[in-house]
Structure 1
Amino acid sequence: MTIDRIWSYPTDSGHAEGQDLTGYGVVASDGTIGHVEREDGHHGMWHLVVDTGVWLFGRSAVVPVGVVRAVEAESRTVALACTGDEVKQAPRFRTDSETMDPAYLTAVGDHYLRLIRRGSATA
């Protein structure tokens, strides 16, 4: 697998190009973790910024779109192919400028690629 796949929606995810996922609930394989705050794609590295609310002590998390297992328009949910703990273990998201920093995004992508290689997530 190339690193580029982690930054692209899986073809069978149900995501439609141009679809706005803002406000969709985000569900990890072990339960709800928050909602989509926004989708960004700086440097071709498409990802979701997920507002985790109190679940992660009021902080947001960055999740590459290659980890999206399914987009359900009817229920307005995005299902991830990883657990909530695996999202927690990703490099911490602190400021919006990080979503434009290729080094930070590469570290995030590397985290999720390790999950895929271990078989925890699929992309």
Structure 2
Amino acid sequence: MRAPMELWDYRPDVYNRGQALDLVGYHVQATDGKIGSVDEATYEVGESFLIVDTGPWIFGKKVLLPAQVITKIDPQERDIFVARTKAEIKDAPEFDEGAHKEPEYRTRLGDYYRRFPG
């Protein structure tokens, strides 16, 4: 099992902190199709995540994805691939604009995403 903080860090083979990369606007692809586009991205060690605007897929809601679920970033195509299905992402704890940086919310979200391999 991964250490708790690793979930909130980019995989070393996916994103090199030495490179400048703005992921806002990139399309996000679940293992079974597109889920939306990046609305916000953070790059802090141990606190990195994406906020994805799902548009019509789940009626304009946003979802928060820990950086560790990202498996590939394609800067040429502006695509981000994540190791979760649409259903797994849709069933995650609801995004809370006011609490998404609070430890309790991040713990609850982390506990959810740790249940899946990958």
Percent of aligned positions that are identical: 35
Partner residue, 2:105: 104
Partner residue, 1:16: 16
Partner residue, 1:94: 96
Q: Is the 8 A contact 1:5 1:66 kept in 2?
A: yes
- Partner Cα distance (2:99, 2:26) in 1: 22
Work out the number of aligned pairs and report it. 115
Q: Could you tell me which runs of 5 or more consecutive residues in structure 2 were left unpaired when the two chains were aligned.
A: none
Q: TM-score, normalised by structure 1?
A: 0.86
- Partner Cα distance (1:52, 1:26) in 2: 9
User: Aligned runs of 1:1-123 on 2, under 5 Å?
Assistant: 1-13=2-14, 15-17=15-17, 18-40=20-42, 44-95=46-97, 97-116=98-117, 122=118
Q: Is the 8 A contact 1:30 1:83 kept in 2?
A: yes
RMSD, aligned α-carbons: 1.6
Are the structure 2 counterparts of residues 71 and 41 from structure 1 closer, same or farther at C-alpha, using a change threshold of 3 Å? closer
- Partner Cα distance (1:38, 1:25) in 2: 12
Between stretches 4-13 and 35-44, larger displacement belongs to 35-44
Q: Is the 8 A contact 2:41 2:48 kept in 1?
A: yes
